[in-house]
Amino acid sequence: MKELSSEDFIKGQVLLVNKPLTWTSFDIVNKIRSSLKYNLGIKKIKVGHAGTLDPLATGLVIVCTGKATKQIDQFLGLDKTYVATVKFGGTTPSYDAETEIDGTFPYDHITREKLDDAISLLSGEIEQVPPLFSAIKVNGRKAYDLARKGEKVTLKARKVMIFKVEVLSFDLPVVKLKIHCSKGTYIRSYAHDLGKALNSGGYLTALERTNIGEYQVEDALEIGDFEKIFQQK
């Protein structure tokens, strides 16, 4: 990344960042904001991200600085592509590995043909219920805060679009999928619904966001590389 001035960042920059495992999207924003303020002597600067990634997911996050934060809404509307690792035979309350398995199911009956049929069923415009462990607001409170406290939460189904799903590997009980979908799609819910469609259980064990619209993770900065542009000054 070329050297940029404080004026450049205030005018607005669109940064592609490869989010590390266990970091939140806010961690990325906070790190970049703190780095800008410290290295460029800026007292205040707007920094925001265009779409969250769960802590247990990795991959592309778009971060905007300064006046470029006005573009965030247009990035939010772009379609996304993910590489998802799904494990059949179990379910978890969070639909991923954040929580313990709460149900076990057979998976030996699953064949590649049955998987393809289930994927066809869950393609195009579908109704999807978001995970209880999500940041969706329920009466002003985040659903995951309520779920972690054991409070009853009911989330409404929403329409999302699954454009294409490609099976990258099939090695039961684990499959790896490349999923091209619309904004608002929860891949954790997709993994859960796929398990149900196969008369089994399914949950996400790994997730990488590879694309947001035409933006690719291959072009993204590691968070350490962002720091290096200041060290080279």
Residue 127's H or E segment, with its range, is strand 124-128
Q: Does the annotation mark 54 as catalytic?
A: yes
d(CA 211, CA 224): 21
Q: What domains sit in the chain, N to C, each tagged with a CATH number?
A: 6-77+215-231 (3.30.2350.10), 80-212 (3.30.2350.10)
More confident residue, 1 or 158: 158
Q: What share of the chain is helix, strand, coil (3-state, %, to 5)?
A: 30, 35, 35
Q: How far is Cα 11 from Cα 7, in angstroms, rounded to an integer?
A: 6
Q: What is the CA radius of gyration of the chain?
A: 19
- Both tokens assigned to 201: 């259980």
Mean pLDDT for 67-79 is: 94
pLDDT value at 78 more than 80 = yes
Contact by Cβ (8 Å): 177, 83: yes
At 24, list the tokens. Answer: 């939140």
Distance of CA 139 to the CA centre of its chain: 24
- Which pLDDT does position 232 carry in this prediction? 55
Nearest residue to 48 via CA among 38, 61, 58: 61
User: Over 70: is that where the pLDDT of 136 sits?
Assistant: yes
- Which letter does DSSP use for residue 69 in this model? G
Residue 126 neighbours by CB distance under 10 Å: 18
Report pLDDT for 43. Answer: 87
Given the residues 8, 54, 108, 145, select the one marked as catalytic: 54
pLDDT of residue 137: 74
pTM summary value: 0.91
pLDDT of 3 > 80? The answer is: no
221 and 15 in contact (C-beta within 8 Å)? yes
